[in-house]
Structure 1
Amino acid sequence: MTLKQLSQVKRWMVMHSTRHPVELAVWNVVLTIWMLGFMGVPGALLIQAWIALPLCLVAWMLPMAYTGGRRRLHRSGRLRCDWLTAL
């Protein structure tokens, strides 16, 4: 996902936060974990914590995996996802 797509989803979530408060909270957690993964790479490299690098990669890819999973569930009819229009 691009930074523009991330901000579009975040903007949609904030605009509809009264109707979808849980989705906003989950998206905030996803973005927090993404940022921890992004910022954890330099620290892991500096202290040579090689075991943390795969965790940082997984955290860095979390928004893409989350939106992909939500898109799949929406298409199969198991979960309604209104914010997909923001992408």
Structure 2
Amino acid sequence: MTLDQFQALKLWHQQHAQFAPLEKEAWEAVVTLWLIGCVGGPVALLIGRGFIAALTFALLFLPRAYVWLRRRLHRAGIVRCDWMAALR
């Protein structure tokens, strides 16, 4: 994801927080875990925790994976994602 897409999703969730609070909370959880991956990876490497470093490295791809999964579920008609238009 690009920074522009991150910004667009952030703005969409802020503007629609009243109508889609669960969407906003889910996205904030994804971004929080992504930040844990950004900060925790180097720390885990410094203290010698290889498993944790691998886990935090995987968290770096979480926002892209979340958007990919939601887009796929939206196209299959399983969930409705109104914020897909914000990513274009």
- Note whether the superposition's TM-score is higher than 0.5: yes
Quote how far apart the aligned CAs of 1:25 are: 0.6
Is residue 68 from structure 1 mapped to residue 63 from structure 2 by the alignment?
Answer: no
Question: Identity over aligned residues, as a percent?
Answer: 44
Equivalent residue, structure 1, for 2:79: 79
RMSD over aligned Cα atoms: 0.9
- In structure 1, stretches of 5+ residues that fail to align are none
Quote how far apart the aligned CAs of 1:24 are: 0.3
Q: How many residue pairs align between the two structures?
A: 87
Quote how far apart the aligned CAs of 1:49 are: 1.1
Distance 2:42 2:4 in 1: 24
Write out per-residue CA displacement over residues 13-40 of structure 1, whole angstroms, 9 at most, x where no aligned residue: 0001110001001111100000000111
Q: Which amino acid aligns with 2:42?
A: P
**Regions of 4+ moved over 3 Å:** none
Question: Please, what TM-score do these two structures have when normalized by structure 1?
Answer: 0.94
- In structure 2, stretches of 5+ residues that fail to align are none
